[in-house]
Amino acid sequence: MSERMQQRLRYLAFLVISILLAFGIGAIVLAVTDHEPLAAYKAMFQGAFSAPRHIGDVLEYAMVLALCGLACDLGSRVGIFNVGGEGQLLLGAIVACQVGVWLKGSPTWLVMVLAALAAIVVGGVYAFIPGVLKVKVKVNEVITTIMLNTVAALLCSYLVKGPWQSSSKYVTAGTEKLNAQYWFGGLIKGSKLSTAIFAAAVIAFFIWYVMQRTSRGYEMKLIGQNPRFARFSGLRNDTVVILCMTISGAICGLVGMFRVYGAEHIFKSGISNDYYFEGLMVAMIARYQPLTTILLSLFFAALKIGAEGMQASAGVSNHIYLIIQTIIIFFMAAESGIFTAIENRRMQKAARRAALARREGGTDNE
């Protein structure tokens, strides 16, 4: 067995064990709070898969998670960590929505193209700033993007209460609703799934292809893992890093546009509840591998939608899914550490046994 294969198997085994353990701990939490764990998990499964509209919601959320996760993959591949996706997503969403509101009456294709472009530009610029600061000034991008997230959230909250506020009295903090002609077509009745998922699939395939199957992708890896070597082999590290960060932000902005034009048809507070952070955690569990990110997105989307169904049908708080999800992350993040600790203990034990054996049986051997 090749070493790579072995590594993959180890990863897979650890992932499965982590998931099982997380569900186990989740069951304990459920049991302690007077819920039947098996019944709750059954309700969770049904909440995700029992009806077409549930499956539609799972796919819609998986799309959001996968794109956010891929945006994170893209940055971390070249060694820059985009934590600002939440802000980029929010700004992309609100600007795209406002484009639709302003251009009311224009042809559908024009509005949608312009909205997508606006979201891409806004998201991209909002990631470009921390990208440049990181590369040119060496300011830690994690900190700046976290600050910019809050700035973006405050800005959106200002806009929906002030200049861009809806005139409808039924919307307290939100923009005008989009005209139905501009929406992505719904695919399953009663679910949030829309044709936006096809666009998302194309983008996801493209990112996977570039990262895994082209020499550009290999160069990115080189820059991320060994920046000095990459520089000496003639790669323009700085440009690539800034570019990846900008594209990462542009994708997040586009996710915002998909959320507005595909699912919500309005910009309000529910457009994203830290969705980017959840996507980021999926990417982390997937070790920043694009394909694994996409597959795990489906799993975690099912978990979340299932938990919402469970809350409705079994009366169990849907927050349980956050607990299960983060326990998986704790295990996965500590994987190599746990392995080293076990290894160390085993070696220590072996050494102690050997020392004991030498001391006790010393006369026999020598």
Partner 1 sequence: MNDILGRIFSAGTFQQMLRSATPVALAAIGGSMTEHAGIMNIGMDGMILMGAFFAVLGSFLFQSAMAGLALTLGVGLIVGLFFALLVVKFKSDEFIIGCALNTFALGLTGYLSDSVFGASGAKGNPSLLVVRLPFLRKIPFIGTVLNGQSILVWVTVVLMVIMWVFVYKTPHGFWLRASGEKPETLRTAGISPERMKWIASILCGLFCALAGAYLSLGQLSGTFSKGMSNSRGYIAFACVIFAAAHPGKAYLAALMFGFFDAIGMRLQAYVSSELTQMIPYIITILMMIYVVVRQNNRRRAPRKLQGMAKS
Residues contributing to the site for partner 1 (CB under 8 A): 29, 33-34, 81, 83, 133, 137-140, 142-144, 146-151, 154-155, 157-158, 161-162, 274, 277-278, 280-281, 284, 317, 319-323, 325-327, 329-330, 333-334, 336-338, 340-341
As given in the structure block, the two tokens for residue 31 are 């049991």
Nearer to partner 1, 265 or 304 (CB): 304
The residue among 131 and 262 lying less far from partner 1, judged by its C-beta, is 131
Please check whether residue 189 is in contact with residue 199, taking contact to mean a CB–CB distance below 8 angstroms: no
Q: Supply the minimum distance, in Å, between the C-beta of residue 81 and partner 1.
A: 7
For partner 1, give the closer residue by CB, 138 or 359. 138
Which of 328, 303, 297, 364 has its CA nearest to residue 22?
A: 328
Helix axes 85-102 and 141-161, enclosed angle (nearest 10): 30
Q: How far is the CB of 354 from partner 1 (least distance, A)?
A: 26
Shortest reach from residue 207's CB to partner 1, in Å: 21
CB-based burial label for 66 (10 Å; 0-12, 13-18, 19+): buried
Nearer to partner 1, 160 or 203 (CB): 160
* Alpha helices, DSSP H, located in the chain: 3-32, 37-49, 52-77, 85-102, 108-132, 141-161, 196-213, 215-225, 227-232, 237-258, 275-285, 290-314, 320-333, 335-360, 362-365
Whose Cβ is closer to partner 1: residue 83's or residue 242's? 83
Tokens at residue 118, please? 């606006």
Q: Which residues contact 254 (CB under 8 A, 6 or more apart)?
A: 67, 92, 116, 119, 120, 123, 203
Q: How far is the CB of 351 from partner 1 (least distance, A)?
A: 20
Q: Which residues of 202-223 are buried (b: 16+ CB within 10 A; e: fewer)?
A: ebbeebbebbeeeeebebbbbb
- Least separation in angstroms between CB 77 and partner 1: 15
Q: CB-wise, 149 or 166, nearer to partner 1?
A: 149
User: Can you read off the two tokens belonging to residue 352?
Assistant: 């102690």
Q: Which is nearer to partner 1, 46 or 157 (CB)?
A: 157
Find the shortest distance in angstroms from Cβ 151 to partner 1.
Answer: 5
Minimum distance, C-beta of residue 120 to partner 1, in the bound complex (Å): 23
Tell me how far CA of residue 358 lies from CA of 12, 347, 350, 364, 365, in angstroms.
40, 16, 12, 9, 8
* Residues β-bridged to residue 268: 174
- Whole-angstrom CA distances from 49 to 23, 197, 336 are 18, 18, 34
Q: Which C-beta is closer to partner 1: that of 184 or that of 321?
A: 321
Distance of CA 297 to the CA centre of its chain: 8
Question: Smallest distance, Å, CB 339 to partner 1?
Answer: 9
